Amino acid sequence: MLFRFFERLVADPTAPPPSPAGQAGPPPGLLGFYWHFVRQSRGLYVAMLLSGLAVALIDTLVPVFIGRLVGMMAGSDRAQELATHWPQLALIGGAVLVLRPLLQLVDSLVRNNAVNGPVTTLIRWQSHWHVIRQGWPFFQNDFAGRIANRVMNTAMSLRESVVSSIRAIWYIVVYGLSALALLASAEPRLALPMLVWVVAYLGFLGYFVPRMRDLSRLSAQARSQVMGRVVDSYSNFPTVKLFARADDEDAFVREAMLEHRDRVAGHMRMTTRFMFTLSCMNSALVVGTAAIGVALWSSGEVGPVVVATALPLAWQIGNMAGWVSWEVSGIFENVGVVQEGMETIAVPHTLVDRPGAPALAVTRAAIAFEGVRFGYGQLAAGGRAVLDDLDLQVAPGERLGLVGRSGAGKSTLVNLLLRFHDVEGGRILIDGQDIRDVTQESLRAAIGVVTQDTSMLHRSLAANIRYGRPGASDEQVQAAARQAQAHDFISTLRDWTGRTGYEAHAGERGVKLSGGQRQRVALARVILKDAPILLLDEATSALDSEVEAAIQEQLDGLMAGKTVIAIAHRLSTIARMDRLVVMDEGRIIEQGTHAQLLAANGHYAMLWHRQSGGFLAADLPAAA
């Protein structure tokens, strides 16, 4: 019950994070970043401060206890000395014997049971919560392994640096001030070495702190780079094997590891200088205190009780400073890790819902692109427009096919409709609602998407299909799989742990399945979602002709009553669409039905002629 009480002081570490007005996620400044998380558990840190204060004050009594014992034993009348001093000695001994262990128990319960697990989970959860809501470009521009490494390590390092600061720095400050007060009250001259040591220690920290902090940050950056490159190699091992590039991958990872080694070496050099300098200061403190104490004792100005109290105090300060040096070194390293992690975690969301944005209300599923201009942020700098003043109306229930060469802007148009990016000119409407004025969650909930690059979660096949509708029953999942021609192969699956059928796991990114199998699972997922708008981006590109023909019949039923935008380079798969729109260099150059476009004998007709075999005769060499 005692453990559970402390473990539940952070009631729900996975609750939605606080969202201060005008602030998206943790602030970018180091102190602000720390305070963002510390303030949510500040009561626990205050408890650690108080328990650390109490333990440090009791530890100060130990040298006093030793001094009193020496003074008592130096007396000539032992019985009289014992009768005079035993109440005071018993009080000090009781505090050390009983009160100190109890306070350390409280300190340990707060630190280990209330802070280490729950608070670390809180920081990790809120960091992940913020990162997973970043826009698509955020994840395209970094290693997934490095992002995950930063989220995991930053939480632990932030917690550890705060806890260590309270345990080490707070402890030595309280103990040092108490020791100074005791020595100054007994004999001010005995406090001089400690006073000089304190001033030197502050200067010592002022020199080493910024240097060790910066070196720690560089080490953490290099470590994340190693993690990112290693995970990148592992994630793309089929490419590594297919191209026989193991040596190049070794060089790619080795370069990062050697850079990390050099960064760590620089950090460790500074750590060694730190330790040696502190050791010299501690030795000077003990010897200086002893020399002054012996000189004062020899001249009869102080008794043995004062000297016996001063020397253990100085020795304890020296020992604690050595312990603190290790803690401070760890603090600096952890601060460096936090600074490096902030490069990922303390990044404001670039694509956010407007305050008070309503959910998208889809009544007819009419789509309108009005004067859309987009160039991936380069238009303001005079860059080329990927989509240039594009106008396109898609009627409710219309099945529209997008045709064009690679790079014509087809996938960009679809990504803008999903609001993975915001248009840089014009607007996109669904049933008259600007998609920038509604919540992104409701927008994407109204759209079913099957892409050519199908990625799957490393979970069961049932979980992957049910992702389209989390509350779907097993029967509904299987019905969607049958409609996508996926049920038969799913029924035969068996993974590496012995799980079979719909409970078998797909592997990371669906690596255990073929491309065609992944695409059929993705189709089943969209069938189950049953959204009013359907986007098909090369949805059958990985399928063989027989399976594609079977699925095409199912797609006709799936598209019934929905507004559909389909992209396909294989024109035979979209020739039956209600209307075909031909794009080139971000503009619409032709549109009409398949028959109308063939009759126009333009760009579409040329593409159709090439795909239907007309180019073969022209390209075959003449018979010898």
Mean pLDDT, the chain, integer: 81
What DSSP string runs through 297-318? HHTTSS-HHHHHHHHHHHHHHH
Residue 387 pLDDT greater than 50, yes or no = yes
Residue 579 pLDDT greater than 90, yes or no = yes
Above pLDDT 90, what percent of the chain?
Answer: 19
Residue 620 pLDDT greater than 60, yes or no = no
Residue 384 pLDDT greater than 70, yes or no = yes
Among 258-267, 545-554, 590-599, top mean pLDDT goes to 590-599
Please state the three-class secondary structure of 60-71 as a single string: HHHHHHHHHHHH
Q: What is the dihedral of CA 446, 447, 448, 452, to 10 degrees?
A: -160
Give the mean model confidence (pLDDT) for residues 72-86: 66
Q: Which residue has the higher pLDDT, 299 or 413?
A: 413
Q: What is the dihedral of CA 454, 419, 395, 530, to 10 degrees?
A: 50
- Residue with token string 């992002």: 147
Helices (H), 245-303: 246-298
Give bridge partners of residue 394 from the DSSP assignment: 367
pLDDT band at 617 (very low <50, low <70, confident <90, very high): very low
Residue 546 pLDDT greater than 60, yes or no = no
Are 506 and 461 in contact, with CB atoms under 8 Å apart? yes
CB proximity list for 318: less than 8 A, separation 6 or greater? 282, 283, 285, 286
Residue 397 pLDDT greater than 50, yes or no = yes
What DSSP string runs through 415-465? HHHTTSS--SEEEEEETTEEGGGS-HHHHHHTEEEE-SS----SSBHHHHH
Q: For residue range 590-599, list pLDDT tens digits in order.
A: 999 999 999 9
Q: For residue range 211-256, list pLDDT tens digits in order.
A: 877 887 788 778 878 877 887 777 776 677 767 777 877 888 888 8
Among 262-271, 366-375, 502-511, top mean pLDDT goes to 366-375
Per-residue tokens: 121: 């989970």
Identify the structural domains of the chain with CATH numbers, from first to last.
9-345 (1.20.1560.10)
Residue 545 pLDDT greater than 70, yes or no = no
Are 236 and 143 in contact, with CB atoms under 8 Å apart? no
The pLDDT of residue 622: 39
Give the mean model confidence (pLDDT) for residues 403-414: 87
Q: For residue range 94-150, list pLDDT tens digits in order.
A: 777 788 888 888 888 888 888 888 888 899 889 888 888 887 778 777 777 778 888
Q: For residue range 424-440, list pLDDT tens digits in order.
A: 999 999 999 999 999 99
Per-residue tokens: 228: 């990112």
Residue 371 pLDDT greater than 90, yes or no = yes
Are 91 and 9 in contact, with CB atoms under 8 Å apart? no
CA-based nearest residue to 328, from 206, 218, 150: 206
CA-based nearest residue to 195, from 288, 74, 93, 325: 288
Residue 605 host element (H or E): helix 603-611
Give the mean model confidence (pLDDT) for residues 462-471: 90
Q: For residue range 172-212, list pLDDT tens digits in order.
A: 777 777 777 777 777 788 778 878 887 887 788 788 877 87
DSSP 353: P
Residue type present at position 335: V
The pLDDT of residue 248: 77
The pLDDT of residue 419: 93
Q: For residue range 337-355, list pLDDT tens digits in order.
A: 888 888 888 888 888 888 8
**Calpha distance 7→382 (Å, rounded):** 57
